[in-house]
């Protein structure tokens, strides 16, 4: 480490370090020549080399192909099956009938208007209905 006297001509380029010594700003601290960056290889498996961990690719979920337009077959299926469900919501229709969300909302409104299903809860965007019984 180089020590500088404060009246030295190049003192303006130097600054004190945390020990109060003046060293050149561009000077870099180096490890002693005797210091070695050797890695110590410890074998735990009796001489066999450790295997590198292989990361899994993860599971890729297939993209859902839900119907977004209403055809006659889908309409008949909605009118036949949905009034028999005990619990009816948009997500239930999407999952069971493989239709889009907007189509499921329209189907629920249509069945409620006809009186085939009965409203339980309407909270924000979540519509929950049940089947209409004979006494209703």
Q: Of 77, 80, 75, whose CA–CA distance to 116 is shortest? A: 80
Give this prediction's pTM. Answer: 0.54
Question: What span, in angstroms and rounded, lies between the C-alpha atoms of 39 and 45?
Answer: 18
CATH number of the domain that residue 98 is part of: 1.10.10.10
**Higher local confidence (pLDDT), 6 or 79:** 79
Average of per-residue pLDDT values in the chain = 77
SS3 category, 60: coil
**CB contact at 8 A, 117 and 129:** yes
Q: What is the largest CA-CA distance in the chain?
A: 105
pLDDT at position 32 over 90: no
First to last CA, the chain: 95
**CB contact at 8 A, 97 and 73:** no
* pLDDT attached to residue 65: 87
Q: What is the mean pLDDT of residues 14-41?
A: 59
Residue 105's domain comprises: 72-131
Domain count, the chain: 1
Is residue 37 in some structural domain?
no
Q: What is the mean pLDDT of residues 17-36?
A: 61
Is residue 115 in some structural domain?
yes
Question: What span, in angstroms and rounded, lies between the C-alpha atoms of 110 and 55?
Answer: 49
Q: What is the mean pLDDT of residues 95-110?
A: 94
Is residue 25 in some structural domain?
no
Is residue 48 in some structural domain?
no
pLDDT at position 52 over 60: yes
For residue 128, give the DSSP letter: E
Is residue 81 in some structural domain?
yes
Q: Of 111, 98, 104, whose CA–CA distance to 126 is shortest? A: 104
Is residue 66 in some structural domain?
no
Is residue 125 in some structural domain?
yes
Q: Of 108, 132, 107, whose CA–CA distance to 118 is shortest? A: 132
Is residue 63 in some structural domain?
no
* pLDDT attached to residue 123: 86
pLDDT at position 41 over 60: no
């Amino acid at each position: 480490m180089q020590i500088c006297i404060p009246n030295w001509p190049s003192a303006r380029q130097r600054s004190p370090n945390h020990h109060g010594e003046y060293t050149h700003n561009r000077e870099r601290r180096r490890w002693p020549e005797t210091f070695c960056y050797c890695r110590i290889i410890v074998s735990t498996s009796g001489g066999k080399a450790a295997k590198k961990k292989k990361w899994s690719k993860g599971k890729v979920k297939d993209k859902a192909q839900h119907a977004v337009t209403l055809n006659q077959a889908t309409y008949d299926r909605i009118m036949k099956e949905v009034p028999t469900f005990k619990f009816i919501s948009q997500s239930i229709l999407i999952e069971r009938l493989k239709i889009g969300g907007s189509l499921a909302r329209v189907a629920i409104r249509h069945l409620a208007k006809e009186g085939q299903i009965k409203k339980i809860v309407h909270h924000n965007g979540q519509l929950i209905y049940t089947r209409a019984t004979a006494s209703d």
